[in-house]
Structure 1
Amino acid sequence: MTDVTNEELTALQAVLAAEHAVVYGYGVVGGRVDEGRRAEARAAYDAHRARRDALMREVRGLGAEPVAASAGYALPFAVADSAAAVRLAAELEDRVAGVYSDLVRAAGGARRSDAAAALREAAVRAARWRGGSVAFPGLAERTGQAGPTGTDPATASVTPAA
C-alpha cells in the first residue's frame, strides 16, 4: 500500500461514496430538468462519472477495495419538476464540495491539489445551478446552518436508500 494515512484513505472513500450518490442524483436531475438545462446536467453527470471512475482507480492503487455504490439513494426532497431538479443539482454540488473539503484537509501533495480542484468545480457548478454563490462553498453543512435550499444540510442529503 502506498504511503497514505488512514484519515486520508477514509476521506478518499467518503469522496468516492459521495460521487456515487451524485451520479445517481444527476440521473434524476436529467430526467426532470427543462430542455434548456439538459446539456448542463449531462456535462455535470459526465464530470462526476469521470471523477468517480478515477477515484475508484486511485483507491485500488492504494491497495484498498473501493466503496461500492448503493442500489438506490434517498433524495433530500421530492423532484417533481424542473425547478426542483435545479435545486437538487445545486444541493448535490454543495454536498460533494463539502466532502472534497474533508479530503483537502486530510490529503497532501497532488491528491490535495486534485481535491481542491474538484471542490472548486463543484462550487462553480452549484453557483450556476443556484444563480449565485455562497461565501464558503462546501462548508455550510459543517456549520449546521440551513443551506441555500432552506433545508438543514446536516440532515438533507442524497443517502443510500434503506
Structure 2
Amino acid sequence: MASKLEVEVEVKSSAEKIWESMKNFSTLFPKAFPDLYQSIEILEGDGKSVGSIRLIKYSPGLALISTSTEKIESVDEENKTLSYTIIDGDMLKFYSSFKATISLAPKGDGAVVKFVSEFIKASEEVPQPDLFKDFIVKNFQDLDAYLLKA
C-alpha cells in the first residue's frame, strides 16, 4: 500500500524565480549546493522535459543515499508543477516505488513550495522518509537564500 509524504516550504523568492531554478536543476544545484550535490548528469532528453532522465550523485557524507536516477513524468508550465519517478539508485533499497510532485504557488511577494511524494516501502522495517523530508526543506530554504543573494 502506498504512503504519502507532504512538505510545504514558504520562500521569499517569487514562484517564477523558483520555477526557473527548478528547470535549471541539473546545472544550478551542483554549482549552488556542492555540499548536497556532487553532480547531476542528463542521461536522456534535456533534463527539463517529460521523459528526461537525470542521474544525481549526492555529495559524500550524506546519510544513506549516494545516487538516484529520476525520470521526469510531467511538467506543467502554467501551474508550475513537475513530477518525477525514481527509477534507480539507493532510494529503491528503501522504497520499491517513489514518485514526487513539486508545485509552486505565489504567496505575497514570495511563494509556497509544495512537495508531495507517494511511496511504497520495500519492507515494514523501513522508516518513514523523514530524512528525505528534512533534505527537501533544506533544499528549498537554501535555494531561496541563494536566489535572494543573486
| Smaller-chain TM-score bracket | 0.3 to 0.5
Name the TM-score, length of structure 1 as normaliser: 0.34
TM-score, L = length of structure 2: 0.35
**Which structure: greater helix fraction?**
1
